[in-house]
Amino acid sequence: MPYWMHVFIRLLVCLNYTSAVPSRPEIRTPDLRRRDPALSTSPSGGYAPVYIKCPPEPFVRPPFEKDNGHAKLGQGESTYVKEKAAQSIPLWQKYLENVHLESFSIDDFLKPAKEKGGIAALTLPNIGFAVSGGSVRATLFGASILDSFDSRNDKANAAKVGGVLQLANYAAGLSGGSWLIGAWATSNFPQISTLVPTWRLTQENEIWKWNVVKHFMRHRKIVKKKHKAGFPTSLVDGWGRILSGHFINEPGKKKQEIGISVLWSSIREVSLYKKREAPFVMAVATSRPGSGKPFTPESPTYEFSAEEFGVFHPYLNVSIPIEHLGSRHTATRPESQSCVAGFDNAGFIMGISSNIFSIGDSPKKEKRPKSVNAVRKLIRDVDFEGKVPNPFKGLGKKSDPSGGNFQDTDMDDLLMADSVFIDESIPLRPLIQPERKLDVVITLDASADGKDKDDPNFYNYPNGAQVYGIYNKNKLPVYSGYHMPNIPNVSDGTFVKLGYTKRPTFFGCDDLRGPLIIYIPNYRATEDTNAATEKVTFKQEEIDKFISNGFSIATQSTGPTQNKDWPICLACALVDRQVLRNSAARTAQCQACFKTYCAIP
């Protein structure tokens, strides 16, 4: 039976019916204790949200509020980045002293920051990470790279790349990347290598295995409480419960109970977030324009941060407090409505960001997998979408319909899904928002678009299609306000022929209209890491290979493209926009680096 058939039938039967799961002996598992537990902040004490009184102002970002011509950032985000940048001067000093660039004065570079204060994109570089989707493969690849850039990693410091993670003001994750971001953030942003062993990836995690099946009925009971409280539920709630058992940190709890009261908004309460010692994190997802309707190029990208839930889109810019996710109609009549608290369950949000089950809701004219069609016939009235009550209903309507309405303006519930359905499996969209003023986006690509099974160094590795797809979408008139540097053609093989899938590459070195993109793909540097997307169980040696291979890529210390000058070149890319703002020039050393790593215009 195909993988997807197992996934759908096992999970759907459980969530739609009450038949008992046959009794089997318990399988003993080790007591996996982690450094910092996630915080249980659900007002109900469980998975079900509750109704509360609405605040006087329902929005974090009121619709279309502008700041110097750009959509305004929410106050929580602005304050976070401002305060983090203000204390980043010593971090830059330490990082640059370790790298030791030639003919580069650290004092001159940091002089504006020391005189005016550390200000992102003004006196200091503004850096972000985009962690792609790709199931556990993406989670492990992203983990290996972030750990290799962590100043708490002695090997990273010795390789002169440690500290880059601490310099980043933003980190966005999608699908498998959101699992990494969610696990990391809810656990108080520890060194990621301390978290990986606790994700239970070596257990039998296939959804049809007894190790998972035995918890289905308990998951159903937990989700049912949310339904009884008056909130929409779907297959994605069950999926989120399964993910919580792996990626939410609650030592001492039974696996099936983990994460029921851990909210995405609880990230605000962990100590490193309060101290502004971690990036401002986001999970990303899209929405289907209606049940059975196809996604379109105008389908939006929604963001879940620790402060707000919202959208930046040419037809609508708006957000609400993340703690009020699940509230209906707050956009139009907040004073006469009840708001919601406790809907932003962390596992549920990770489930939304990785909701590949949405394929079951695709139009009949689209070719669906046979397993999906079989499930649709077997079980009727199945909800394949992550359902979120629409707080923006009625917003984004144009007086002139020809001007375009926001896709979800008439939806009662947002039908949320993995952004892979809109060809954006890399969460670049939030980080190329002009109002965020990113200088550099370190883009981690663990997609699996390489289809040549005869080439083990290409099959199931990235081929550039995801970053090229976003670049192409930005050429559409509706996205004229966004800018990405030129990305070589993937369909004619140019991207691969230029070698950009087998080493880090800088895109936009001399294009100042948007951020410089440091593209880091998953590839075989020293180990095979092209695991299938459906692979969810890994041997310890396979996990170790991911970590080792990622370190080789992040440091360029071993492998076919190893280069002892890579740490220098990485630093050159990170400081470049600030060097220009300081009215200085690239050093000869950095010019040589850009000649090596910058993409051909």
Tokens linked to 494: 């140019």
Cβ atoms < 10 Å from Cβ of 341: 22
- Separation between Cα atoms, residue 444 and residue 175, nearest integer Å: 13
Tell me the DSSP string of 87-144.
T-HHHHHHHHHHH--TT--HHHHHHHHHHH---BTTTB--EEEEE---HHHHHHHHHH
The rounded distance, in Å, linking the Cα atoms of 516 and 573 is 8
pLDDT of residue 402: 58
What is the C-alpha to C-alpha distance for residues 174 and 165, in angstroms, rounded to an integer? 18
pLDDT the model gives residue 443: 99
Query: What number is the average pLDDT over the span 554-562?
Result: 95
Residue 202's pLDDT band (cuts 50, 70, 90): confident
14: pLDDT strictly greater than 60: no
Region of poorest pLDDT, from 178-187, 310-319, 336-345, 375-384: 375-384
Q: Is the pLDDT of residue 232 over 70?
A: yes
**Range among 275-284, 458-467, 532-541 rated most confident:** 275-284
Q: What is the pLDDT of residue 7?
A: 47
pTM of the model: 0.92
Superfamily (CATH H level) for 3-18+36-395+405-597: Cytosolic phospholipase A2 catalytic domain (3.40.1090.10)
- C-alpha 600/C-alpha 506 separation (Å) is 9
Element (H, E) at 443: strand 440-445
Sign of torsion over alpha carbons 202, 238, 174, 162 = negative
Q: In whole angstroms, what is the distance from residue 317 CA to residue 327 CA?
A: 18
Tell me the backbone φ, ψ of residue 170, rounded to 5 degrees: -135, 150
Region 253-269: mean pLDDT is 91
As beta bridge partners, residue 505 has 519
Residues 78-113, buried b or exposed e (16+ Cβ, 10 A)? bebbeebbbebbebbbbbbebbebeebebeebbebb
Delimit the domains of the chain by residue range: 3-18+36-395+405-597
The mean pLDDT of 235-260, rounded to a whole number, is 89
**What is the reported pLDDT for 113?**
99
Report pLDDT for 416: 98
- Give yes or no for residue 87 having a pLDDT over 90: yes
- Tell me the three state secondary structure of residue 21: coil
CA angle (22, 23, 24) in 5-degree steps: 120
First to last CA, the chain: 48
Name the residue type at position 348.
F
Extended beta strands in 206-313, E state: 280-288, 301-305, 308-313
Check if the beta carbon of residue 330 is closer than 8 Å to that of residue 340. Answer: no
